[in-house]
C-alpha cells in the first residue's frame, strides 16, 4: 500500500486539471488562424472592403481568444491559488 496523503492527491489532481485546462488554448489558436486566412482571402477578392473585413475579423478573434484565456486563468488558479488545498485542513 502506498503512502499517498490527501494533500499529495489534491496537488497531483490539481496539476492534471491545470494541464487539461491549458489544452483549451488549442481551439482558439486554430480558429484564429483560420479566421485570419479567410480574412486575407476576402481582402484579396475585394480590396475595397478591407476595413470592414479587418474589423469584423479582429472582433471575431477577440471573442474566440476569451475561451483560451479562461482556460489559462483556471490553470493558474489550480496551480497557484488552489482552493481545494485549503479545504483539506
User: Is the pTM above the cut of 0.85?
Assistant: no
Number of domains in the chain: 1
Q: Can you give the CATH number for the domain in which 39 is found?
A: 1.20.20.10
pLDDT (tens digit per residue) in 17-34: 999 998 988 988 898 889
Structural domain for 56, as ranges: 26-83
Distance CA 33, CA 81 (A): 32
Please report the pLDDT score of residue 49 as a whole number.
92
Any domain includes 11: no
* Residue bearing cell 480590396: 47
Nearest CA to 67 out of 13, 15, 37, 26 is that of 26
Phi-psi region of 71 (alpha: psi -120 to 50; beta: other; left: phi over 0): alpha
Q: Is the pLDDT of residue 87 over 80?
A: no
Amino acid at each position: 500500500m502506498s503512502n499517498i496523503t490527501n494533500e499529495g492527491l489534491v496537488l497531483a489532481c490539481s496539476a492534471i486539471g491545470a494541464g487539461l485546462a491549458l489544452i483549451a488554448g488549442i481551439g482558439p489558436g486554430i480558429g484564429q488562424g483560420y479566421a485570419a486566412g479567410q480574412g486575407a482571402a476576402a481582402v484579396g477578392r475585394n480590396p475595397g472592403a478591407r476595413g470592414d473585413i479587418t474589423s469584423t475579423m479582429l472582433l471575431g478573434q477577440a471573442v474566440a481568444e476569451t475561451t483560451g484565456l479562461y482556460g489559462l486563468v483556471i490553470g493558474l488558479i489550480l496551480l497557484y491559488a488552489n482552493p481545494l488545498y485549503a479545504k483539506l485542513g
